[in-house]
Structures are given as structure tokens and as C-alpha cells.
Homo-oligomer: A and B are copies of this chain.
Amino acid sequence: MVCSTRWPRLCVNNAMAGELDFIARLRALARHPAARGLNDDCAVLPLGTGTGSETLILTHDAMAQGVHYLPTQDMADVAWKLVASNLSDLAAKGAQPLGVLLGYSLGGDDTRFLEGLAQVLDHYDTPLLGGDTIRVDGPLSFGLTAVGRATHLPVPSRSGARPGDAIWITGGVGAAMMGFEALQAGHDDPALTVAFRRPEALVAEGQSLAPLVTAMMDVSDGVLLDAWRMGTASGVTMAIDSAAVPLRAPEERRRDALSWGEDYQLLFTAPAGCLLPVEATRIGEVRTKGDAPLLLDGVTMRESDHLGWHHKG
């Protein structure tokens, strides 16, 4: 199994031991508080002092052929997803995007990539600031750094969920899974595949929610795995009612959809009764720490349960 791990998105179930070990050793290098111990979606770096000061939000994500996208996919969609997945990390911090830097491998359909890049940057009104171009023999890979500024302090983290909070998600899950499967089966109906090909980063929603949430993250690796991580970071147990999670897939695929990623919804906790500025569904409640960080329909989850999706290649 090929695996990609955005730190600290540890491949809890499937990562090779070497990769977990590598990331553990990287953590030892990331001692600066801005790195948040590599335990969050983004780095959070205060800059300047006084009234004009800002807090910088930084993230870097890569996509590789055969790992994050099918070799047959339109490169315009690859460009879109590369940008949207990074902006989704900024969204989880309530950040306003300032720009992106691109690490680009030449040799695919460069023209289509550029077309998709232009579309996604225009869609999010985010400038291309710089980058680098290389040409290598072998599968293509692309890296993107997204830079944003915090719109609310403190910047939401994964670690602030408190017992008694309600657990919310902004939309349904499963659409990306259905899109991926349609694409893999050779369906080219855009309506079936769009959720996988061109996900939306919930930038405006993240900014609206930032002042209200106790913890927030984007769901890129599966709502169960991401809830597990939030529970771990917060030192609580996330009790989720699987039937409450809005589904954008057939009912018989519910369990699959809960452990599939790339829907890029926002998962967050907020005090029960909190009036929300965006549409969201309550899917559970935060409890004091029990046997594990995640309780699904009253059953304690284990790391060995299939909780998340790790870029099936």
C-alpha cells in the first residue's frame, strides 16, 4: 500500500513502521511553538508586534501520480485538488488565504494543469506567489505551500474540544468516495465524479466558525480517523452517532463513507446550544476521556479498526 502522510496525519492503521518512525523523529526537530509539534493541520506563526501584528498560517501538501490521483485523470482536476486541499487546511484555522507557492513536475499535460490552476486560484481569489519547476523520470508529484493570515485569535486547533461540547460537521460524507469509484470504473459523468475531482475548501465557513469553535479540523482522511485525532489531541473521547452523519452515498456504504476521506468538510466542536453561522449537523458529543479517543455508536474504537483512508494508489 502506498501511503502519504501529511504530518501529523499519521496513517494510524496502515502506515509502514518506517514512516511513523520518520515522522516521530521529525517531531523532535519541530520544537518551535509555531510548528504545534506537527500536531495540527498548519503551522501558526505570530508575526510582528502591536496593532499591526498578524498571525501567519502555513501548510504544505503534496500530490503524487498513482497515490493521490489516477494516472488517467485530467491534470486540470489535479491542479484544482492540489490547491483546494491546501486551502482546506487554512479553512480549518479560519485563515484568509494570501497566496500559494507551487513545486511542479513537468511532463504531464502541462497545459491542462495550468488551466486548472488558473481556475482554482481565480475561484479562491488567491495569487500564485512563486515556486519551482523540475523534470524527473518517473511518476509526477506536485507540492503546494499555502500561506494565510489568521482572522481570529486564538487560532482554532485540534486540541480544544471539551467534555460537554457538541460535535458538528458542515456537510455530508461519501461524495468523494463515490466520485473516486465512478472515475476508477471509467464513468466520465462530471456530476458523478466532481466531488472527488474538484473538492471545495470551506474557506468562508472556516472564517465564520473560527470565533465559535473549541476545536476544528478539515476531514481529509475520514471522519472517524479525524475525530480520533481530535479526541487524542484534546484528551477527550469523541462520542459519534454514525446514523447522524449526513451521507452522500448509498446507505449500505455508510460505514465505508465514514472512513473515507477527501470530502474536506469541517469537523468541529462547540458548546452545546451554540448558534452556528453556517449550516452544520450535530453528530455527537464530547465526553471525558474514556478507554479510547473515539466511541462510535457506544462502541469503543481501536486503532486497528478501519477508521480512515490513506490515499489508495
A137 on the B face (CB < 8 A) = yes
- The answer to whether A114 touches B26, judged by C-beta atoms less than 8 angstroms apart, is yes
CB within 8 Å for A133 and B45 given contacts A31-B127, A52-B52? no
* Complex: chain B residue closest to A68, CB-CB: B134
Please indicate the chain B residues that have their CB under 8 angstroms from the CB of A145 in the complex. Answer: 58, 60, 101, 145
In the complex, the count of this chain's copies comes to 2
Contact between B101 and A133 (Cβ–Cβ < 8 Å)? Answer: no
**Residues of chain B with a CB closer than 8 A to A58's CB:** 99, 101, 129-130, 145, 147
Contact B138 A62 (CB under 8 A): no
Contact between chains at A49 and B52 (CB < 8 Å): yes
CB atoms of A51 and B54 under 8 A apart: no
Q: Quick check: which of A1-9, A185-193, A280-288 contacts chain B, the rest being far away?
A: A1-9
Name the residue on B nearest A31 (C-beta): B127
Report which of B18, B30, B103, B117 forms a contact with A62, defined as CB distance below 8 A: B103
A66 within 8 A of B: yes
Within 8 A of B (CB), among A240-281: none
Minimum CB–CB distance for A24 against chain B, Å: 10
Q: Which 6 A-B pairs have the closest CB atoms?
A: A138-B138, A32-B127, A52-B52, A50-B52, A43-B129, A103-B143
